[in-house]
Amino acid sequence: ALLSGQVDAIDLVDTRIAERISETAGFQVVRSKGKAHYTIPMLYDMAPTDDHHVRMALKHAIDRKQMIDVVLQGFGEIGNDHPISSVNKYFNSELPQRVYDPDKAKFHLKKAGMENLTVKLSTSEGIWEGAVDAALLYSASAAKAGINLEVNKVPSDGYWADVWLKHPWSASYWSGRPTEDWMFTVAYAAGGSWNESRWAHPRFNELLKAARGELNEDKARDMYWEMQQLCSDEGGSVIALFADHLIGHS
């Protein structure tokens, strides 16, 4: 519609056609960093993801750079297993970035006594473009860590009712929220209806409550920074990708 002149601008440009648009005379793609991110929540109360070392192994077994290059065609930023974007006010810029490390993944599997781990990741094309491809890439990178990651491709119809929050490990996504408090409250606070990993961390919840009423910005920043660190190191979600927001126009 855009290239034929039927419309002047389009929102949510598919990354697979963004380059084609930008290379066409008379058109361009505006790219901005966003808060949308893709998550792979592991249920805290179901085996084998109820084990801390299993979760850490899976976090080290994903090639985040490859995901950005292949799934998002470079239009995104690498995630660090917490839901706060680099455009958020209280983004923790000093938190060490987790990288693909098969040896470290093997270390955690040994600690868990599961050196021949087999896990099943449920996903569907209907949840976000490239979700199945991302799972297949993840499976390939995890294999180098000795993890047999089986991709369970399920129908899009009924995914959010029958798979999400029910399967031990499933793909998900969030458009993000304007503030750190809103994002953490809706998806990470203990007892929340959309807490997709069923995570309940006492220190995290204590900080979340305290930060809401903290008027000193330096103190609030320290609280939100610690919450991001807790999410990254002890939380139940693999968060490898933050997607850019793309708009195409004439």
Judged against a pLDDT cut of 90, whether residue 116 lies above it is answered with no
What's the mean pLDDT in 45-56?
Answer: 94
Contact partners, residue 28, CB within 8 Å, separation at least 6: 21, 22, 248, 249
Question: Residue range 235-241: average pLDDT?
Answer: 97
Does the structure show a pLDDT above 90 at 244? yes
Among the ranges given (13-17, 138-142, 152-156), the one the predictor scored with the smallest mean pLDDT: 13-17
Give 62-83 pLDDT, tens digit per residue.
Answer: 999 999 999 999 999 999 999 9
Average pLDDT for residues 110-138, to the nearest whole number? 94
Q: Which whole number is the average pLDDT over 24-33? A: 95
| Mean per-residue pLDDT, 95-114 | 96
Using only the alpha carbons of the chain, give its radius of gyration.
19
pLDDT of residue 141 exceeding 90:
yes
User: In this predicted structure, what is the pLDDT of residue 207?
Assistant: 98
Q: Kindly tell me if the per-residue pLDDT of 101 is higher than 90.
A: yes
- Model confidence pLDDT, tens digit, residues 177-219: 999 999 999 999 998 889 999 999 999 999 999 999 999 999 9
**Structure confidence at residue 144 (pLDDT):** 96
Q: What percent of the chain has pLDDT over 70?
A: 100
- CA-to-CA distance for 197 and 168, rounded, in angstroms? 9
Q: Which pLDDT score, from 0 to 100, does residue 126 have?
A: 86
pLDDT for the residue numbered 129: 85
Matching residue, tokens 């990178």:
141
What is the average per-residue pLDDT within 35-54? 94
Cα–Cα distance, 186 to 119 (Å, whole number): 27
The CA angle 129-135-139, to the nearest 5 degrees, is 160
3-state secondary structure 103-162: HHHHHHHHHHCCCCCEEEEEECCCCCCCHHHHHHHHHHHHHCCCCEEEEEECCCCCHHHH
pTM: 0.92
What pLDDT does residue 16 have? Answer: 86
Q: What is the pLDDT of residue 88?
A: 96
What pLDDT does 161 receive? 94
Average pLDDT over residues 102-114: 96
> In three state form, how does the secondary structure of the chain look?
CCCCCCCCEECCCCHHHHHHHHCCCCCEEEEECCCCEEEEEECCCCCCCCCHHHHHHHHHCCCHHHHHHHHCCCCEEECCCCCCCCCCCCCCCCCCCCCCCHHHHHHHHHHHCCCCCEEEEEECCCCCCCHHHHHHHHHHHHHCCCCEEEEEECCCCCHHHHCCCCCCEECEEECCCCCHHHHHHHHCCCCCCCCCCCCCCHHHHHHHHHHHCCCCHHHHHHHHHHHHHHHHHHCCEEEEEEECEEEEEC
Per-residue confidence (pLDDT) for residue 192, from 0 to 100: 84
Mean pLDDT of the chain: 95
